[in-house]
Amino acid sequence: MRMLVSVRSVEEALQAAGFGVDYLDLKEPAAGALGGLDTARIKDILAAVRPRHPSLMISATIGDLQAIELTAIEHAIREVADAGVDLVKVGVPGQGGAAADALLGRVALCGRPIVPVLIADDGIDEGLFAIACTLPFPALMVDTQAKLGGSLVERMGPARLARLVATARAHGKPFGLAGALQLRDLPALRELKPAFAGFRSAVCEGERSGSLVPARLKAVHDGLAADRTAFCEAIAE
């Protein structure tokens, strides 16, 4: 299980990268679950991080746009992708419906490396998720919009999340979990074993819009690293 950390500035990006995170996700936490940064700041972060961490995978969000805003979404995707990130994250209503279906189909054909983020507050339609796993996306995620009602693990429960992980694994699709994840969720995450887990709330002081805390970054990183060590030891036996 790899570690993703959401960051909004050059300082935060370098701090997280220095702890050995696997993925950086560029966003503005104060602007919503998938709050977007302007392209100038994205380029500044990339210019600072790439020379020091050339192999680090970096994604960025396009903002909390409504699924029916297809023209605005496509424009935002082009702007963010052209800024130079590896992956572009786009929010999709997880409960399904005509708007979610249309959005998934449109972004799957846009020619850019899109990671759909299925928003789980109103539930996840497992049929929609299975369809998304068959489309040419490099990865998928599930996240929450509201961050004060408990973590994704607490709100959905391990059993439902395990079904999603199994579906993604059956399709060979890298799949990540995020959504106000906390240190207390690490045991459940180690059981679920998604390809990666995304953190912001757990590594910040106070709310997710606060500053990154080195001790918390280390605690999450070490918690996930312990899982990797146990996995490698099991393989070697």
Q: Which residue among 89, 147, 173, 193 is the active-site one?
A: 89
The mean pLDDT value for 209-225 works out to: 91
Q: ∠ CA(34), CA(136), CA(54), 5° rounding?
A: 65
What pLDDT shows up at residue 144? 95
Strand partners, 117: 91, 141
Q: Which residue among 27, 147, 193, 218 is the active-site one?
A: 27
Residue 153 identity (one-letter amino acid): V
Q: State how far the Cα of 237 lies from the Cα of 216, in Å rounded to an integer.
A: 32
Residue 13 belongs to a domain with what CATH number?
3.20.20.70
Q: What percent of the chain has pLDDT over 90?
A: 88
Residue 222 identity (one-letter amino acid): D
Residue 111 CA to its chain's centroid (Å): 20
Phi, psi for 229 (deg, rounded to 5): -65, -45
What pLDDT shows up at residue 117? 98
Q: State how far the Cα of 133 lies from the Cα of 153, in Å rounded to an integer.
A: 21
Q: 27 catalytic, yes or no?
A: yes
What pLDDT shows up at residue 104? 97
What pLDDT shows up at residue 236? 41
Q: State how far the Cα of 225 lies from the Cα of 182, in Å rounded to an integer.
A: 16
What pLDDT shows up at residue 203? 96
Query: What is the domain range of residue 125?
Result: 2-236
pTM for the model stands at 0.93
Residue 140: name the closest of 70, 101, 92, 75 by CA. Answer: 92
The mean pLDDT value for 23-49 works out to: 96
Q: 147 catalytic, yes or no?
A: no
What pLDDT shows up at residue 168? 98
Instruction: Report the 10 Å Cβ neighbour count for 237.
Output: 4
Average pLDDT of the chain is 93
How many structural domains compose the chain? Answer: 1
